[in-house]
Structure 1
Amino acid sequence: MSRAEPAGVRGGRAPGRLWTLSLFRSEVSTVFRRWRTLALLGVLAVVPVLVGIAVKAQTGDDGGPAGHGGGGPAFISQVTNNGLFLVFTSLAATLPFFLPMAIGVIAGDSVAGEAGSGTLRYLLVAPAGRTRLLLAKFTSTVVFCCAATLVVTVSALTVGALLFPLGEVTLISGTTVSFTDGLLRTLLIAAVVAASLTGVAALGLFVSTLTGSGIAAMATTVGLLITVQIIDQFPQLSAVQPYLFPHYWLSFADLLRDPVYWDQLLRNLGLQALYVAVFGSAAWARFTAKDITA
């Protein structure tokens, strides 16, 4: 069966809804079968291990981190008291670069990679149409966002349980909640982090429609990510920073307060939705009008 014909669908006789589902399953399967994807997930799984070992190695005789300078998110200093905080620390460590870089690679290659290999033309022969194909590619990238975040979360939770004690969670606001409550907040934080990456996914998808080279699209997306991150660090550019997609990424820490501070969390989710709408529409306009000759 060719790459252009999703499993279970032959000759275009299936209804449109079945074609869409089959196309989505085919795109998700294609993404997760690639060695590049597995390598990215492997790197993300290793980061919490390194963070956990580093924190454990720096633990002083009193059980606290030796020489901790107070930098970083407020919950980092609590890792030695509760392994659950290694999840939050690992997400904070991977979110500025590792997670969005992985998303940028997958999104940037989504259309351009197919065009470069010559398979995009055959995909467009299928009755699903360009809009459904683009939607399937974006949705499969969002699935990767969730998978990548889940890998970091599960790895950090496992390492945290092995290296540090687990129990009641003292939030950064000073309130103590049960371990079950803390675990639920962990799942909610993972969902927020995954949603925070959808803006990068939409941007990468748009870049991917502009070129027939997967490598160029991936490099451009990652380059834009680094550039925006740098811009977000200069106080002189504070007027534009609230409109940059990574500006509110670390707002997930507000879920570790009681009561929860929703202001920046909602701004983050709204900003990601805006990027998805703008760059998703731009990708659709470009892709539906693009002359596919490869």
Structure 2
Amino acid sequence: MQSSLDGPAKYGRSAQWERINRTQITADAVSTLAGFKANEVNFKLALWDPRVNGVRYLKTLIHHLGMNLSAQNLDRLRRTANRDVGDPIAVRCQGERMCLDYLQAVFELDFIAGQLPLDGARVLEIGAGYGRTCHLLLSNADIEAYHIIDLDNSLSLARTYLGAVLTPEQLAKVTFTRIDDVDRVTAAQRFDLCLNVDSFAEMDAATVHQYLDLIDRTCRYLYVCNPVGKYLDKSLDGHAQGEETVALALRSGLLRDVIDIHDSEVVAAQSHKFLAAYRPGRDWHCLASQRAVPWSFYWQALYARAAS
């Protein structure tokens, strides 16, 4: 007996693939190999279109990092309560909700803690964002005092956020300092560790040098995590924030060489300029440095000032 599925319909296309063949994998589109792996053909055959699937790829990255967390770093994350304040884009891995911000903070803490003890430390953070690094450190070490320097609006956000996520005892250790008050507040202060995560590269070069002078006078250790250079790859974001924003970014920071940020050898070579640029003074030396996961072009380093 002949099946009702015999003929063209037996191995025919679904309604979904009928549409795909009309709109994406068309006869014209498959007539050449030129560019097909970065256009609609391969975006349907093998990849999710990165132009409209940014959140999907972000969650995939978070999942990959989260599933590969060490037991020690997973414990550090678990000890940091209230991470869902602010509704982050998150996934659930190993029984824990995770977002990229706090995963990066865990990796940074792992690097620092591998080089020096943090219990009892007095910490200075220059440019704290909303305060995720402060939150993680205060949740995982017996920090004596934590000072944050930032611009007014960012400082207001950090004060509100940390007020929501920290315990009263932890919050009492935090001092918020406006940039206009830096010299007055720090004049008689000494800090064990200074932190700068992803903000030196966005300051005027002269401002960075002023902060490095401040660190040289007041701190024993410096941790820096910043880009090793600039990039002009428009395919990454289409310069969505406008050409003026791009121009301003290219002029900021100490490291303004435009490089291929997705060439590991180029980034590694540029890291030598990074290490020289962020050394606070002649009496300082680098204890450790390496690429900062997950970004291809971020480097991290921990410097120590020679004992007097």
TM-score in terms of structure 2 length: 0.24
- Structure with more relative contact order (C-alpha pairs < 8 Å, separation 6 or more): 1
TM-score in terms of structure 1 length: 0.25
